[in-house]
Chain A
Amino acid sequence: MSRTPVTKHDEGDGMTSLEMAPTDAGADGAAPLLEVRDLHVEFAVRDSVTKAVNGVNYSVSAGETLAVLGESGSGKSVTAQAIMGILDSPPGRIAKGEIFFQGQDILRLSEGERRKLRGAKMAMIFQDALSSLNPVLSVGFQLGEMFRVHQGMSRKDSKAKAIELMDRVRIPAAAQRVGDYPHQFSGGMRQRIMIAMALALEPDLIIADEPTTALDVTVQAQVMDLLAELQREYNMGLILITHDLGVVADVADKIAVMYAGRIVETAPVHELYKRPAHPYTKGLLESIPRLDHKGQELYAIKGLPPNLQAIPPGCAFNPRCAMAQDVCRTDVPPLVPVTELDGTELPGRHSACHFWKETIHG
């Protein structure tokens, strides 16, 4: 099924222009596993509306890893929660958009149907495993709950399954530890339990929201490797939400960079590192501390992320951008395909910058 990209400009608040872009089907040309189209999410608290997600488009195919990169408040987690159907609602609400999962728009499903997808077909791994696991229930109980609720399995069988899962994510002495509580495990082991819980029913899509942020650097690599390995084995689609460019490089196939609730750049992972096509991405890459720059001041993108209740008109990044011109303060840049200077297409690359040419080639 191929979809025709439509580009439409919404006048008005200047923030809702629909950019159609990274709907590229999987590498094999089949329909993607998940496709988010023009998603808008708002949080209405009293008189003010916080526009957390303002027209996000992305897709993930089976076996593919999409990294969603952005600062806190860029809307990456909110998008993920909208996909899972676990937004705090109210005050959160999906104002507009479609989320196609395995060919159907899941936003049109009933809450009961959504619930059956959660855990079974799509699962989520959270950042802080200590607070994300229930402190008063044993890990075996919490793992087994997946099988009991979704498959009606008995307590005894589900416990055996829990042990199997703990083995699968390489927790030593799983059979002895199945009755232990979350606080009795180390941070890395707890995150493995979160991964095991997400994998329990072999879902087709896994969303990992900063899965390694709360871990030690040495443990980060182990957990990330485990996640990547299991993803390959089960051929799952993986959305990896992170603000850590280091984590992304090793495991992701493609990257979507988010800023103020919009995607500002998409690219295959290594191309993004080599030649960013958006000033924000460029700034992010330059702000990674480097050993060969020792002694020099660390680079930081100046300014602060925008207040989501009052996103600047035009390009949301313009107040912080060194390249900003008048057009950036008035017109929202659409997410357009990025090409070589001679017009050769760069597959999978898009940028939402009026001056993408100057950024990538200049």
Chain B
Amino acid sequence: MGRYVVRRLGQLVVVVLGATMILFACLFVLPGDPVGQIAGSDKARDPAVIEQLHKQYGLDKPLVVQYGTYVGKLVTGDLGTDYTQSRPVTEILGPKLENTAKLAVAAIIIDIVIGISVGVLAAMRRYSIWDVSATFITTLAIGVPSIVLGMIMQRVFVIELDWFPLIAGDSFEGIILPAFTLAIIDAALVAQLARSTMLEVLRADYVKTAVAKGLPRRTVLTRHILRNSVIPVITYLGISFGGLLGGAIITETIFNWNGIGLALIQAIQQNNNPIIVGVVTIGVAVFVVLNLVVDLLYAALDPRIRLA
């Protein structure tokens, strides 16, 4: 087990290096000067200032050297300095990551509560009006892009009904709409997944055994059916949580949520490369670590899984 975790964390290093290397290469070939914007508007630009800025951020050096410098700093936990504010990237992204995490946790709770309960109820009342509606609504939810859904929700619940604040801030009400927008597709997918795994488990021989043992219905349901049904769902949730933490770009933009997704969009618009690299580095690391957590959890829930 210990060796398995060490090996997987070793993979993390390889994945982060690979991802950032590709990103560096991409940013390098992009047109436009990264420091152009801070050097002033096109006409007023002083070549001496640009040269000075290039020196300051090491942009005068070859790409390989720039990448080497980045990796060297990364080892010490330093993600470099951004171009527009001249502040450490970690300092800028820290609170934004916290905001994104809040949103992601809220979304995953919605996924679990709505997704699993809808899926379980649909499976238990198969072909009933509830089941058919659940299938219809979840399919619809998967089909509607979150940008459309988010804007409709904003229009209806914020502008028309005035139930929620337009600027989310730190309030509890503020998080509800963005969390729903972010969660809805995954909640629908979780519901469909939970329904199909539960239908499979309901037919399993060991469920018949549990009934034949004289166990009360509730015990059969919770101990023998639900537990086996949620294992694949947990895997899915873990992976999607990684995706959410990597930045909910669209949702954060619609609701002006000050997270790393919004930071990424702004950084791209401003050619603020250190922020872009920082967000990707954090995203990749979070994703890989969460995948590891999911695999460990999977092994803990299903004894047939061997970690090797």
Q: Is the interface of A mostly helix, strand, loop or mixed?
A: mixed
Interface of B is mostly: helix
Please tell me which one of the listed residues B205, B227, B303, B304 contacts residue A126 in the complex, with CB atoms under 8 A apart.
B205
Residues of A within 8 A of B216 (CB): 115, 149
Q: In the bound complex, what is the Cα–Cα distance between A137 and B222 (angstroms)?
A: 13
User: Cβ of A271 < 8 Å from any Cβ of B?
Assistant: no
Decide: B208 and A126 in contact? CB cutoff 8 A. yes
Check if B205 sits within 8 Å of A135, measured CB to CB.
no
Q: Are A135 and B212 in contact (CB under 8 A)?
A: no
Tell me which residues from 187 to 215 in chain A have a Cβ below 8 Å from any Cβ of chain B: 197
Q: Shortest CB–CB separation between residue B4 and chain A, in angstroms?
A: 19
User: Contact partner of A128 among B205, B212, B215, B302, CB < 8 A?
Assistant: B205
Beyond A145-B215, A149-B213, A181-B303, whether A132 also contacts B224 by CB under 8 A is: no
By a CB distance below 8 angstroms, the chain A residues around B223 are: 137
CA distance A314 to B203 in the complex (A): 35
For A133, the chain B residues whose CB sits under 8 A away are 206, 209
Known contacts A115-B216, A118-B214; is-contact A136 B227 (Cβ 8 Å): yes
Q: Contact: A183 with B303, CB < 8 Å?
A: yes
> Which of these, B211, B213, B219, B302, contacts A135 with CB under 8 Å?
B302
A86 is an interface residue with CB less than 8 A from chain B? yes
Within 8 A of B (CB), among A203-232: none
Mask: chain A, 115-150; 1 = CB below 8 Å from B; 0 = not: 111111001101010011111111000000110011
How far, in angstroms, from A118 to B208 measured CA to CA in the complex? Answer: 12
Q: What is the CA–CA distance of A138 and B210 in the complex, to the nearest angstrom?
A: 14
Residue of B nearest to A134 (CB): B206
- B231 with A136: CB separation less than 8 A: yes
* Binary per-residue interface labels of chain B (197-211) against chain A in the complex, 1 for a CB within 8 Å, 0 otherwise: 000000011101111
Collect the chain A residues with CB atoms within 8 Å of residue B228's CB. 134-136
**Which chain A residue has the least Cβ–Cβ distance from B210?**
A134
Interface size, A (range): 20 to 34
Q: Is the CB of B206 within 8 A of A149?
A: no
**Known contacts A86-B212, A136-B231, A150-B214; is-contact A131 B302 (Cβ 8 Å):** no
Distance in angstroms from A53 CB to nearest chain B CB is: 18
Interchain nearest-CB distance for A198 vs B (Å):
9
Per-position 1/0 for B282-308, Cβ under 8 A of A: 000000000000000000011110000
Within 8 A of B (CB), among A261-305: none
Complex interface: chain B residues within 8 A of A183 (CB): 303-304
A84 interface hit (Cβ, 8 Å): yes
Cross-chain contact A197 with B206 (CB below 8 angstroms): no
Q: Considering the chains assembled together, what is the distance between the CA atoms of A137 and B206 in angstroms?
A: 11
Q: Give a binary string over A93-123; 1 marks a CB under 8 Å from any B CB, 0 the rest.
A: 0000000000000000000000111111001
Q: Which residues of A contact B208 (CB under 8 A)?
A: 86, 126, 132
Are A134 and B224 touching (Cβ within 8 A)? yes
What's the minimum C-beta distance from A161 to chain B, rounded to whole angstroms? 14
Complex alpha-carbon distance, A123 and B210, angstroms: 11
B-side contacts of A84, CB under 8 Å: 212
Evaluate contact between B206 and A118: CB separation under 8 angstroms. no
B213 A119 Cβ-Cβ under 8 A: yes
Q: Are A132 and B213 in contact (CB under 8 A)?
A: no
Least CB distance, A150 to chain B, in whole angstroms = 6
In the assembled complex, 18 residue pairs joining A and B whose CB atoms fall closer than 8 Å, in A order, are A115-B214, A118-B211, A119-B212, A119-B213, A123-B212, A123-B213, A128-B205, A131-B205, A131-B206, A132-B206, A132-B209, A134-B209, A135-B206, A136-B227, A137-B223, A145-B215, A150-B214, A197-B213
List the 10 closest A-B pairs by CB distance, nearest first. A119-B214, A118-B214, A131-B205, A134-B206, A181-B303, A132-B205, A119-B213, A124-B212, A132-B209, A86-B211
